[in-house]
Structure 1
Amino acid sequence: MAEAFRGEFYQKVDGKARVSIPAAFRAVLNADDPQKGEKGGARLYMVYGGKSRTFVECYSKRGADQLAADIEAMDMGSPERMRAERDLISRSVMVEIDADGRIVLPPKVREKMGFAGDLPAEAEAALAGFTNRFRLYRKEVYEAELAAEDDDDIDPLTLVGRHKRAG
């Protein structure tokens, strides 16, 4: 990956279910997809599987290929691999970013985000960077999760490197 997905952005979702991908995220998607899609735009892989997930996980071409390789390394036929394949591979969709930097949210993605049926006039999405991927939320859901997590009184810097110290 040339760069990481960093930051959080709020974007309007128009009546045609189009949302703009922030320029910083587009730069990563472009760098990770040198061949591009059929129309010449970078491809974005959107994972909408997982019942308890309140977001859609979004990967670049390179990130989606790495996720698939990690799943293929799991034991064939194991319940863990079968679940990972179902929720992370089967329940995903690829979209191409258009010349204006937008994507159209596919029906399954809209459904996962709670945008089934007609979109509200003020529909808004939150896009949150997570280094090798970003998450796409309905704005209200993202803000509610942030509010709930910000009450834990843990300094996040104390978490960084913890797994290295424990081993």
Structure 2
Amino acid sequence: MAEAFRGEFYQKVDGKQRVTLPAAFRQILLADDPDRTDPARPRVYLVYGGKNRNYVEGYSKAGADALAAQIEAMEIGSKARDRAERDLISRSVMVEIEPDGRFVLPPKVREKIGLTGPDFASGGEVAYAGTTNRFRLYRRDVYDAENEDDDDDDDDGVDPLALVGRAAKGA
């Protein structure tokens, strides 16, 4: 992966269910997809599986390949591998980004994040949240509600950098 997906971005969804991918994310997709057919159209892999998720995850070509390799390393026939294949491979879709940065949200993606029904027939708004090797795509109001309380998660007095340090030490 060339660079990490970083930041929060908000975009309107138009009446044709198209949305613009943040320019910073497009650059990562371009770098991680050197063998694409059209040099101006990088691919993004949108994973909509996982019944407890209220978001879709977006991977670059390199990120999607790395995820698939991790799943292939799992024991064939195991429940864990079957679930990973179903939720992360089968329930995903590849989308090419237009040269202007827009793409049409596939029906399964719209359904997963709740951009369906009469309230969203003429569009809506989405939130992109970078998470290092992938990004998450939410309906904007869902993202805002989910993160409203997260600013209070430091009640335990632990600095987030300390948590990263614990992970690095294997704690």
> How high is the TM-score relative to the length of structure 1?
0.94
Counterpart in the other structure of 1:85: 85
Deviations 1:52-97, CA, capped at 9 Å, x for gaps: 0010000000000000000000111100000000000000000000
Which has the larger displacement, 111-120 or 126-135?
111-120
- The question of 1:158 aligning with 2:162 is answered yes
Q: Counterpart of 2:58 in 1: which secondary structure?
A: strand
**How many residues are paired up?**
167
Trace 1:51-62 onto structure 2 (pairs within 5 A): 51-62=51-62
Counterpart in the other structure of 1:147: 148
Trace 1:11-160 onto structure 2 (pairs within 5 A): 11-37=11-37, 40-118=40-118, 119=120, 121=122, 123-153=124-154, 154-160=158-164
Q: CA RMSD in A?
A: 1.6
Deviations 1:79-122, CA, capped at 9 Å, x for gaps: 00000000000000000000111110000000001012342546
Gaps (5+ residues) in structure 1?
none
Q: Is the 8 A contact 1:55 1:137 kept in 2?
A: yes
Deviation at 1:148, TM superposition (A): 2.5
Q: Hey, which of these two has a bigger chunk of helix by percent?
A: 2
Q: Is the 8 A contact 2:15 2:123 kept in 1?
A: no
Moved over 4 A (4+): 37-40
Percent sequence identity is 66
Q: Counterpart of 1:150 in 2: which secondary structure?
A: helix
Q: Counterpart of 1:126 in 2: which secondary structure?
A: strand
Deviations 1:119-158, CA, capped at 9 Å, x for gaps: 2546110001011100000001111111122221142112
**Inter-partner Cα distance in structure 1 for 2:96 and 2:39:** 8
Q: Counterpart of 2:117 in 1: which secondary structure?
A: coil
Deviation at 1:165, TM superposition (A): 2.2
Q: Is the 8 A contact 2:17 2:105 kept in 1?
A: yes
> How high is the TM-score relative to the length of structure 2?
0.92
Q: What residue identity is the alignment partner of 1:132?
A: N
Deviation at 1:40, TM superposition (A): 4.7
Deviations 1:2-51, CA, capped at 9 Å, x for gaps: 11111110000001110001110000000000122468510000000001
Q: What residue identity is the alignment partner of 1:147?
A: E
**Inter-partner Cα distance in structure 2 for 1:37 and 1:106:** 21
